[in-house]
Amino acid sequence: MKHGKRISLAGMLLGLLALVALAGPGAVAVAQEPIKIGVIQPLSGPVAASGNFVANGARIGADWVNERGGVLGRKIQLVIEDNKSDPKEAVTAAEKLIVRDKVPAIIGAWGSSMTLAAMPVVAKHGVPLLVETSSSIKITKQGNPWVFRISPPSEMEAAGLEKVLAQDLKIMNTDFLAVNTDWGRGAVGAFGDVLKKYGGKLHAVEYLDQAATDMYAQLTKIKNSPADWIMVTTDVGQIALILKQAAELGIKKKILTTGGSSAPNKLITLAGPAAEASYHIVIFLPWFPEAMPDAALAKRFVDEWNKRGLPFEGLTESFRGHDAVFTLAKAIEIAGKAEPTAIRDALKKVTWTGLNGPIKFDHEGQSWPSIYMIQIREGKITLPPFMRRS
Amino acid sequence: MDTLLQHLLNGIILGGTYALLGIGLTLIFGIMNVVNFAHGEFYTLGAFAAYFFLALLGVNFYVGVAAAIVAGVLIGALCERFVLRPLQGENIDTVMLVMIGVWIFMQNTELLIWGGIPQSIPHPFSPRPLIVGPLHVNSIRIFVFVVAFCLIGASHLAIQRTKLGKAMRATFQDREAAALMGVNIHRIHTVTFAFGSGLAAAAGALLGPIFLVYPSMGDLAALKAFSVVIMGGLGNFMGATFGGLMLGVAESLGAGYISSGYKDGIGFIMIIFVLLFRPAGLFGRAQRIG
């Protein structure tokens, strides 16, 4: 009997130990568990090039954060989901990240239509969404308190370059060829308003489907308009096709692409001589890192990107992934915990200089990035003279 | 007037490639009774094979395109032998589901091998347009149009004039009777599917150098192929040819005079009208003949 009592006492002690062992590590292990950050990008489909660039930029951002010891002593782990260039998939990706992976914040979703589709999902669950690329003005005007954006809406792009458009490039009569999404339509509206403001005029306005490859019909109409400029808003794959097909149809108008998705180096590869003399609005200057607000950071990012063997043309978009990851990392530090509401409130206090420039969110969750323009001349990227004075 | 002519020219050239896609599918869908959802993937396969031979291996352009077509034929034959033959006699819906599976499998395999980033294929044609009066046309597009029509003509001759073609038509009119006549129906099925897939791969290999190559490029192509087949009448070779041309011209004129943003929707609006007024297709007859 004494033997049994001792055993049962030992058993009780063992049981107690087991209970502590089960409950305890819960509190201890969490401190070493990585902080997951969701990333939704188009990794397949027509705009897959851009999505992959941003995702790789985010990976560099995460690696650099972790090299410095992570956030709150924990490493950052990116959970990257593919939205297949489709707004419906963006919704699915957001649900999966929030419900299954329980991420406290999401970066995404590249395309304006995809981001707009995911916004109700993050609002429903209360998870902050850091928008890194989308340009539709609707994203920050819907009053969704969970949405923050570091990329410029088309209105900001147009306003930021108004002087350049009116006085340096002297665009008085232009056609517009835009992708038929929230992004493209928004750009037409935004630039159209700025044109009207300084007395310019929009002539032929044509749209193309995101997956379209043959733009002859639209370009034939544009050819017949009296305008001497064409403004183009779509991603690099379609811009390349548009440049080639415009040359094939004998169109001699000057071309300006907006939206920062032109990846000019890829354009030179894909379109060759058809890209000559075209202007491109970009948000990052990987060819002239010394011209960026934080020149040292820009140079380091470009070097790391090249070291990883990633295509140089991706640098015009990938910086967004890096800036987004760092912005969230700083927000989590300020918040003191990886919890959605705390991160949301902390984002309002974040202020630092990223690859593009100063990042600080206004009352609508919009940050105010710098806008740049380059020109392709003789197969090389050049900084136009009017850009150099600023 | 010039604009109208340019639109028409654009439309006819585009239509030639739609016709090529449509004929491949009408053989498979109309004659073999297989709802081939993977047809667009053979188009993509042809484009990626052309990319592999031309951009990666640097082979001569014409040899590379021919090699890409051969690749389409071979993979089509393999697909029929190992996926479709075991399903012979099954319900049409079962086969349709299996072909959807093949579609998903092929597209994701391509995504895995090549990645999602669009690629371009080099070609020896000048990027500067040929100018005929007020019309501009690119030499590679003329090449594509000519080749497409040669392939269409050759296919027509093959089906109508050769013994193999006769065997194909016989098999699909009445399998049992054809088997009794000594036709090897298994071989005919394989040949037909490989033939149709080869035509789709040809369209992909020809269009790849004009446009860009990426794994999901076949989705829109497949839908247009179905439009062409339905408009032309299932199994109707001539119907698919004219259907393809009509779709190309309608899209071009529609985009030029109605709305460019919704150009790709025109094909589907056309299907709706055709099905409302002539359900067997514009050229179709009530029964399916080869």
Question: Which is more confident, A124 or B140?
Answer: A124
ipTM above 0.90 for this complex: no
The predicted-structure confidence for B95-110, as pLDDT tens digits, reads as follows: 999 999 999 999 889 9
Among A366-380, B130-144, B272-286, top mean pLDDT goes to A366-380
Other C-beta atoms closer than 10 Å to the C-beta of A12 total 10
The H or E element that residue B73 is part of is helix B61-79
Q: Which residue of B has its CA nearest to A206?
A: B260
Separation of alpha carbons B171 and A144, rounded Å: 63
Residues A35-152+292-370: name the CATH superfamily.
Response regulator (3.40.50.2300)
Nearest to A229 by CA among A185, A178, A191, A175: A175
Instruction: Please tell me chain B's helix, strand, coil percentages from 3-state DSSP, rounded to the nearest 5.
Output: 75, 5, 25
The answer to whether the CB atoms of B118 and A244 lie below 8 A apart is no
CA distances B287 to A207, A327, B90, B213, Å, are: 41, 66, 21, 38
Is the peptide bond between A109 and the residue preceding it cis, with omega within 30 degrees of 0? Answer: yes
Separation of alpha carbons A74 and A357, rounded Å: 27
Other C-beta atoms closer than 10 Å to the C-beta of B167 total 20
Q: Is A222 helix (H, G, I), strand (E, B) or coil?
A: helix
Is the model's pLDDT at B286 over the cut of 60? no
Equal CATH topology for A35-152+292-370 and A156-282: yes
Residue in A49, A217, A247 closest to B127 by CB: A247
Provide the residue ranges of all domains of chain A, joining segments of one domain with +: 35-152+292-370, 156-282
Q: How far from chain centre, in Å, is Cα B68?
A: 14
Average pLDDT over residues B128-133: 82
Structure tokens at A56: 């790789």
**CA distance to partner chain A, nearest, from residue B27 (Å):** 26
Residue B53's pLDDT is 94
Separation of alpha carbons B78 and B65, rounded Å: 20
Nearest to A251 by CA among A269, A270, A271, A225: A225
DSSP string covering A32-84: TSPEEEEEEE--SSTTHHHHHHHHHHHHHHHHHHHHTT-BTTB-EEEEEEE-T
Where does residue B258 fall: left (phi above 0), alpha (psi -120 to 50 degrees), or beta otherwise? alpha
The answer to whether the CB atoms of B216 and A45 lie below 8 A apart is yes
Q: Which residue of B has its CA nearest to A214?
A: B211
Where does residue A74 fall: left (phi above 0), alpha (psi -120 to 50 degrees), or beta otherwise? beta
Residue in A51, A217, A237 closest to B252 by CB: A217
Q: Is A214 on the interface with B (CB under 8 A)?
A: yes
**CA distance to partner chain A, nearest, from residue B202 (Å):** 17
Q: Which residue of B has its CA nearest to A208?
A: B261
Is the model's pLDDT at B92 over the cut of 90? no
Contact A102, A43 (CB under 8 A): no
Residue in A213, A237, A250 closest to B129 by CB: A250
Residue A201's pLDDT is 94
DSSP string covering A330-382: HHHHHHSS--HHHHHHHHTT-EEE-SSSEEE--TTSB-----EEEEEETTEEE
Task: Return the residue matching tokens 């790391």.
Answer: A304
Other C-beta atoms closer than 10 Å to the C-beta of B58 total 9
B213 half-sphere exposure, CB direction, 13 A CA radius = 30
SS (H, E, C) B211-258: CCECCCHHHHHHHHHHHHHHHHCCCCHHHHHHHHHHHHHHHHHHHHHC
Judged by CB atoms within 8 Å, which residues 141-170 of A form the interface with B?
none
The answer to whether the CB atoms of A43 and B116 lie below 8 A apart is yes
Instruction: Please tell me chain A's helix, strand, coil percentages from 3-state DSSP, rounded to the nearest 5.
Output: 50, 20, 30
Nearest to B247 by CA among A186, A116, A214: A214
Separation of alpha carbons A117 and A127, rounded Å: 15
Is the model's pLDDT at B115 over the cut of 60? yes
Within 8 A of B111 by CB-CB distance, chain A residues are: 44
Structure tokens at A171: 């665009």
Residue A29's pLDDT is 46
Residue B30's pLDDT is 72
What is this structure's pTM?
Answer: 0.79
A228 half-sphere exposure, CB direction, 13 A CA radius = 5
The answer to whether the CB atoms of B212 and A240 lie below 8 A apart is yes
Which are the contacts of B114, defined by CB distance < 8 A and separation ≥ 6? B48, B51, B215
**CA distance to partner chain A, nearest, from residue B95 (Å):** 26
**CA distance to partner chain B, nearest, from residue A309 (Å):** 15
Q: What are phi and psi of B222, to 5 degrees?
A: -65, -45
Residue in A48, A85, A220 closest to B3 by CB: A220
**CA distance to partner chain B, nearest, from residue A263 (Å):** 13
The answer to whether the CB atoms of A208 and B263 lie below 8 A apart is yes
Q: Which residue of B has its CA nearest to A235?
A: B118
Residue B285's pLDDT is 58
Residue B160's pLDDT is 87
The answer to whether the CB atoms of B127 and A272 lie below 8 A apart is yes
Q: Which residue of B has its CA nearest to A222?
A: B256
Residue in B14, B116, B261 closest to A45 by CB: B116
Average pLDDT over residues B12-35: 86
Separation of alpha carbons B94 and B99, rounded Å: 9
The predicted-structure confidence for B49-88, as pLDDT tens digits, reads as follows: 999 999 889 889 999 999 999 999 999 999 999 999 898 8
Q: Residue B3: is it exposed, middle or buried by C-beta count within 10 angstroms (0-12/13-18/19+)?
A: middle
Q: Is A206 on the interface with B (CB under 8 A)?
A: yes
The answer to whether the CB atoms of A212 and B7 lie below 8 A apart is no
Strands A372-377 and A380-382: antiparallel
Separation of alpha carbons B170 and B255, rounded Å: 42
Within 8 A of B127 by CB-CB distance, chain A residues are: 244, 247-248, 272-274
Provide the residue ranges of all domains of chain B, joining segments of one domain with +: 2-277
**CA distance to partner chain B, nearest, from residue A271 (Å):** 9
The predicted-structure confidence for B172-228, as pLDDT tens digits, reads as follows: 778 788 889 888 888 898 999 999 999 999 999 999 988 888 888 898 889 889 889
Separation of alpha carbons B167 and B163, rounded Å: 6
Residue B290's pLDDT is 47
The answer to whether the CB atoms of A270 and B212 lie below 8 A apart is yes
Nearest to A159 by CA among A133, A112, A126, A195: A195
Contact A373, A316 (CB under 8 A): no
Q: What are phi and psi of A103, to 5 degrees?
A: -70, 145
Q: Which residue of A has its CA nearest to B112?
A: A44
pLDDT 10s digit of each residue in chain A, 390 long? 455 555 566 666 665 555 555 554 444 445 578 999 999 999 887 788 889 999 999 999 999 999 999 999 999 999 999 998 899 999 999 999 999 999 999 999 999 999 999 999 999 999 999 999 998 889 999 999 999 999 999 989 898 899 999 999 999 999 999 999 888 999 999 999 999 999 999 999 999 988 788 888 899 889 999 999 999 999 888 899 999 999 888 899 999 999 777 788 888 888 888 999 999 999 899 999 998 999 999 999 999 999 999 988 889 899 999 999 999 999 999 999 999 999 999 999 999 999 988 999 999 999 988 889 999 999 999 999 888 754
**CA distance to partner chain B, nearest, from residue A294 (Å):** 30
The answer to whether the CB atoms of A217 and B251 lie below 8 A apart is yes
Within 8 A of B144 by CB-CB distance, chain A residues are: none
CATH code of domain B2-277: 1.10.3470
Contact A136, A112 (CB under 8 A): yes
The answer to whether the CB atoms of A217 and B131 lie below 8 A apart is no
- What is the dihedral angle through the alpha carbons of A94, A99, A103, A109, rounded to the nearest 10 degrees? 0
Amino acid residing at A53? F
Residue A32's pLDDT is 76
Residue A19's pLDDT is 57
Separation of alpha carbons A39 and A110, rounded Å: 10
Q: Is A386 on the interface with B (CB under 8 A)?
A: no
Q: Which residue of A has its CA nearest to B6?
A: A220
Within 8 A of B117 by CB-CB distance, chain A residues are: 48-49, 52
Judged by CB atoms within 8 Å, which residues 231-270 of A form the interface with B?
237, 240-241, 244, 247-250, 269-270
Which are the contacts of A96, defined by CB distance < 8 A and separation ≥ 6? A81
Task: Return the residue matching tokens 């990107």.
Answer: A305
Separation of alpha carbons A217 and A209, rounded Å: 12
Q: Which residue of B has its CA nearest to A216?
A: B10
Residue A343's pLDDT is 95
Q: For Cα atoms A44, A318, A369, give the angle at the middle one, nearest 5 degrees.
A: 125
Separation of alpha carbons B231 and B251, rounded Å: 14
Of the CATH numbers 3.20.10.10, 3.40.50.2300, 3.40.50.720, 3.40.190.80, which one belongs to the domain with range A156-282?
3.40.50.2300
Q: Is A52 on the interface with B (CB under 8 A)?
A: yes
